[in-house]
A and B are shown apart, each in its own frame.
Chain A
């Protein structure tokens, strides 16, 4: 009988488990439905808003500081940070989508770029910010560099600005007798640098340059010197731009001459761009402003050489230099019942220049130099500060206006780019055929979506 009892216990346990499984779902839904009763207004009651992001430990510290300062100013609003997948913005977005689709109340969301924001805005998942801007009496285009909008509606508040630049191993430059490049250097100059920087050192080969598997590196010109990474302003594909052909060919040449690691290695072995640069496998790396804090940090990236900075090269000598400005954006979920508080918080974060900030702000006004100085504080020894400041703040550095085209299918165009690039780099198909193929495919996608 004892045995029988244990069976019954197991059975009961199982059904309890099933019921709990069933009920816990119900609970969650009812919670989400009833919300916290705070309908935007608060009369002394404390309202909690949730901020969904992809914070890792380092970013989390910043977030915590923002929240502390905000809560001090707004004792009625509590902010809870919810890192979805720490350190991985793409996976976080996927998980965010699941939350959005299950009707969960989502207040504040971080987006890593404008494209990912458009996708969700087009599906009606985000709230328009126009009324809030109007109420506050500000024109966002005067406040922020980039204002993602669909139609006439603004959806994103830029809270970090990202720009691209080239990291250079200063020690290697010195050894090769090369200057830190200035605005106006061309990709041909870059190739020349790559050749001269390719050296054998202690039995280890250092390549002149490293290009990561991201689309940013397939045609850097489109990603850094054009308003939109995949489209011209008239909405047609930019794959027809001569820079694609030029950069594809340059990539192959660098690879064939051994000045850069082959694309097949990058892809097949899933190389990491940080380790390639900081382990001195490559002397130059095209990357972006998110690396400022890491450049001199020997704890995250053990290394003992000085890092210099240079603006992104241009296509032809004499080309005007105006760089693409991207950024991280905060948006407010349409399902939120605390939109006003969320807006307040998002604005607060975007304008906060205090201690916690480790990335450039997206503000047109004000001086970001102190922010940069603080970001590199303690790491100056291994950073060529002069070239960093020059690259970020020189008078000649211009930023492009925000693109007027916004699309929710950027991902499909990106996969055409990477497929086309692979056809050329891995399969040795002729450049003209590949470019034609890319234009054709991209046009198909654009037509389908318009």
Chain B
């Protein structure tokens, strides 16, 4: 490019630049517009509305004029409501079983599939199938498997000498476990795939170097694989954590939160209060409780993971 030409053009570009800037801003907002409208309509407005509702008592049937402000009553009621405590306890139990167990099983599977196995793509597919299968169709299958007296699972357990196997979906001490098992089963494929992606980002040269130093497979796993998967652990932990707090489909389909609330969770309570009993105010207050818990847990995971990575 000739230098003269550049000099000549400089002023023109400057004029253009402010015009361009203006145009760019307009265009920029235009491109954002659809998303903005959607978010305002479906996130911001509902958020504000549910905040208002959470301080009021409103039965949907009464119409808008039936909204009655009750201050903090809903929140007071919430902390005395035995069902809410059970739901939170169930939620925590669910999360602290689903997240670590599915991550641990999947990590082992991923390491084996990634490094040292024939038929790699078969395994990826096989473990992934439950994840893409419709959760309700899968739930229907498991309901039959869980049949208390004649189902395959309990027939098997009895045939190996367990005389009194759990009654699964009809058992107050096993219904949540039954849901947890199905959830882990469907999640494993997804977590395996994410771990494999994480594993392929680790440079093979590290393992080679470790081999030369005489490191055992276990040492390699512990010293190289685990720490270098840090961001992947982090991603999975947060995603699964948030996801597990939103569990609803299987519970609504299989147990309705029962028997005797043994498998109820926060989202199910919101559904029950809001859409079956029409206590919209109370349901909104519960929604904010859910929001608060998820935010705190997300923050904590993030904090813990960050600390680990720095140490």
Contact = CB atoms under 8 A, between A and B. Distances in A.
Contacts of B60: 97-98, 101
B28 interface: no
At the interface, is chain A mostly helix, strand, loop or mixed? helix
A426 B170 contact: yes
A276 to B, nearest CB: 13
Interface in A218-257: none
A124 B168 CA distance: 43
Contacts of B144: 269
A270 B170 CA distance: 10
A351 B169 CA distance: 46
Interface stretch (B15-23, B145-153, B182-190, B238-246): B145-153
Interface stretch (A74-82, A260-268, A395-403): A260-268
A12 to B, nearest CB: 12
A125 interface: yes
A267 B169 contact: yes
A422 B258 CA distance: 10
Nearest to B61: A123
A14 interface: yes
Interface string B225-263: 000000000000000000000000000000000111100
Contacts of B276: 94
Given A103-B63, A426-B170, A426-B171, A269 B148 contact: yes
B170 A265 contact: yes
Contacts of B220: none
B127 to A, nearest CB: 28
B298 interface: no
B37 A263 contact: no
Contacts of A123: 59, 61-62
B207 interface: no
A423 B171 contact: no
SS class, residues of chain B in contact with chain A: loop
A419 interface: yes
Q: With a 10 A CB-CB cut-off, give which of A98, A100, A411, A422 has the most chain B CB atoms.
A: A422
B167 interface: yes
Given A97-B61, A97-B278, A125-B61, A268 B172 contact: no
Interface residues of A, number: 28
Interface string B152-180: 00000000000000011111100000000
A427 B276 CA distance: 27
Contacts of B151: 269
Interface string A11-42: 10010001000000000000000000000000
Contacts of A101: 60-63, 278
Contacts of B259: 267, 419, 422, 426
A124 B62 CA distance: 8
A270 B143 contact: yes
Contacts of A267: 169-170, 258-259
B62 A262 contact: no
B214 interface: no
Contacts of B147: 265, 268-269
A146 to B, nearest CB: 23
Contact of B143 (A11, A98, A124, A269): A269
Interface string B63-76: 10000000000000
Interface string A383-407: 0000000000000000000000000
Given A14-B34, A268-B148, A270-B143, A426 B61 contact: no
B14 to A, nearest CB: 29
Interface string A89-111: 00000100110110100000000
A101 B146 CA distance: 40
A53 B38 CA distance: 36
Contacts of B277: 411
B169 to A, nearest CB: 4
A345 B74 CA distance: 43
A11 B147 CA distance: 51
A268 B146 contact: yes
A196 interface: no
A120 interface: yes
Contacts of B63: 101, 103
Interface of B: 34, 37, 59-63, 143-144, 146-151, 167-172, 258-261, 275-278
12 contacts: A101-B62, A125-B61, A264-B149, A265-B150, A267-B170, A268-B148, A268-B170, A269-B144, A419-B260, A422-B260, A423-B260, A426-B172
